[in-house]
């Protein structure tokens, strides 16, 4: 049986929410969430400590909050074997990707989990997701797994490949264009695919984010003038959601070619799977 020191970091979300006079809102500490959900029974070998950073609905999460989470992991890095972040589901995939790019040289596992239902809801998924996340956090160091992961509904997803695909189902996340890393069942972790280790040197915190970014979704009738309006508003980077493998109206292609010498222009695809191939 593996043993690991796990720091559980609370940032809010449905997993920490309770009913209040103003509706459901994050109101529980990380320790309260775990003790209520698991009755104080943690996986054998998981030595758990707690750190509360914030209690926010994840729809209110901002890049500054990503920096706070990354810095907390950085400052506690030597004292723990794994890190578990309790987070809301709406922006969990964004935070997972942000942490993956912020924590350079990450040689330990950072796990994010949350829930679709609160602890007070019938059929709550809080206990399962917490247990699975703790089991994976305990086993990952022994398995040589480092990096950022989302653990949800028994699935372990590489953080930069996680995507929320349902607003209601308990099985709310999938892995985009990448295999599931593992499945968790009970007290066991079943590895499906080992990611390549990309650890280079000591851990470095590079937590700077550009927020003047616009995401433009292609649609029939989209005009190139939209790009000019965004540039006038001070946008410093464009993410273009193209059709299929990268198809866009000729007018928009011409405008993007014109502005690409002045700012980054990234082309992605509206379909979830497959990706972009601009040679087609």
Per DSSP, the residues of 17-82 read EEEETTEEEE---HHHHHHHHHTT---TTEEEEEEEEEEE-GGG--HHHHHHHHHHHHHTGGG-SE
The answer on pLDDT for 200 being more than 80 is no
Tokens 């993410």, residue located: 239
pLDDT of 23: 85
Query: What pLDDT score was predicted for residue 279?
Result: 83
What is the pLDDT, as a whole number, of residue 199?
63
- The arithmetic mean of pLDDT across residues 221-250, rounded, is 97
User: What are the domain boundaries of the chain?
Assistant: 4-205, 213-269
Active-site residue list: 14
Q: Which fold has domain 4-205?
A: Rossmann fold (3.40.50)
What is the pLDDT averaged over residues 116-123?
97
* pLDDT higher than threshold 90 for residue 196: no
The pLDDT value recorded for residue 21 is 79
Same-fold call for 4-205 versus 213-269: yes
Tens-place pLDDT, residues 137-163: 999 999 999 999 999 999 999 999 999
Q: What is the mean pLDDT of residues 69-89?
A: 98
Q: In this model, does residue 116 exceed pLDDT 70?
A: yes
Find the mean pLDDT for residues 19-29.
Answer: 90
CATH number for the domain formed by residue range(s) 213-269: 3.40.50.40
| Range of weakest confidence among 57-61, 147-151, 204-208 | 204-208
């Amino acid at each position: 049986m593996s043993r690991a020191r796990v720091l559980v970091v609370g940032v809010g979300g449905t997993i920490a929410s309770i009913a209040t006079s103003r509706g459901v809102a994050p109101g529980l500490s990380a320790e309260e969430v775990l003790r209520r959900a698991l009755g104080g029974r943690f996986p054998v070998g998981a030595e758990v400590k707690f750190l509360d950073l914030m209690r926010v609905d994840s729809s209110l999460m901002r890049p500054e909050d990503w920096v706070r989470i990354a810095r907390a992991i950085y400052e506690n890095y030597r004292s723990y074997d794994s890190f578990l972040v309790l987070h809301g589901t709406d922006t969990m995939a964004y935070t997972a990707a942000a942490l993956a790019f912020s924590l350079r040289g990450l040689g330990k596992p950072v796990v994010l989990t949350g829930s679709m239902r609160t602890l007070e809801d019938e059929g709550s998924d809080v206990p399962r997701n917490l247990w699975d996340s703790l089991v994976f956090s305990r086993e990952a160091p022994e398995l040589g797994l480092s990096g950022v992961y989302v653990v949800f509904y028994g699935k372990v997803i590489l953080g930069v490949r996680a995507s929320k695909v349902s607003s209601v189902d308990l099985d709310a996340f999938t892995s985009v264009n990448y295999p599931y890393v593992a499945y968790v069942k009970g007290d066991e972790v079943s590895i499906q695919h080992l990611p390549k280790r990309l650890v280079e040197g000591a851990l470095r915190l590079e937590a700077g984010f550009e927020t003047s970014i616009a995401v433009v979704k292609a649609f029939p009738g989209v005009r190139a003038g939209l790009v000019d309006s965004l540039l006038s508003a001070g946008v410093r980077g464009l993410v273009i959601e193209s059709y299929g493998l990268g198809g866009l109206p000729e007018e928009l292609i011409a405008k993007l070619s014109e502005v690409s010498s002045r700012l980054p222009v990234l082309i992605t695809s509206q379909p979830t799977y497959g990706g972009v191939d601009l040679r087609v």
